[in-house]
Amino acid sequence: MISRPLATVAALAVIGWASGVAPAAAHVIFSTGNQQYDNVNIMAGISDHSQPLVASVDNNPWHTPFYIANPHDGSNAPIPYLHGSHGAAAVEAWRCSPSSGTNCESDGNPAHVALYSFELYIEPGWAITGMDWKLDDWANDHKDVTFQAYDLLGNLMPVATAGCVDAGATSAAFEMGHGENGFRLETCGGESISKLVIRTEATGQGMMDIKAVSVQTSQLQVPEPASLALTGHALAGLALLRRRMAA
């Protein structure tokens, strides 16, 4: 027979293993520069704002789906369309559908409009461990842009500085330029990221586009049925021990 203390320790160990998919102390580091992780092939075409623009991570055999979605303007209203350009690997926001006229400009207004916020996220069952991208400042007036990352449970991740020192913040701000200005993220210990949110200040003209996105991904391990059963037994054992101790 296993002693009560030993059974308790074993149960806690199994539960700790099972909950280790998204470490509570996971930190993300934002910086400038380009790392060039796995290539991302952005599919050309137009997507309604209620539907994400689909890309895929090319440099793995599964072509992991990757999404760019939820564009907003300076008043935080949804922008109707995203336009993905495969040749330049860029994504920009459009105010109308191309079906409304030639080059979407039949009413005299330009199709291309400024982005003020949007998000990038990975297919469920996968995680991001590194990413880099480039942004174009529409008016080249060096506005601030902020980045936030979320873990697999949807929690906002704390930001760390180089050396993984806690920065005491959940977002990082940089000055945005025009053209080949690169940004990147990485985690302190290979922790998992599900989503990146990019925002710029509501004044001025916002962002022109995001381009040259590349990511480093990992596939999440799904527990085997035996492991799930073991976790269930551990939880049941803890409940039984609590009832006995209460009695």
Q: What is the pLDDT of residue 111?
A: 81
Two tokens, residue 19 = 């909950």
Torsion sign (Cα): 84, 88, 89, 93: negative
Q: What is the mean pLDDT of the chain?
A: 80
Q: How confident is the model at residue 33 (pLDDT cuts 50, 70, 90)?
A: confident
For residue range 109-162, list pLDDT tens digits in order.
668 889 999 999 999 999 999 999 999 999 888 889 999 999 999 999 999 998
Domain ranges of the chain: 34-229
Provide φ and ψ at 227, rounded to 5°.
-70, -40
State the pLDDT confidence band at 48, using cuts at 50, 70 and 90.
Answer: confident
Distance from C-alpha of 209 to C-alpha of 136, rounded to nearest angstrom: 6
Percent of the chain with pLDDT over 90: 45
Q: Between residues 93 and 23, which one has the greater pLDDT? A: 93
Asked if residue 106 has pLDDT above 70, the reply is: no
Question: Is the per-residue pLDDT at 229 higher than 80?
Answer: no
**pLDDT recorded at residue 180:** 66
Which of 5-9, 23-27, 40-44, 126-130 has the highest mean predicted lDDT (pLDDT)?
A: 126-130
Chain-centroid distance of CA 25 in Å reads 17
Alpha helices by DSSP H, listed for 83-224, are none
pLDDT at 4: 47
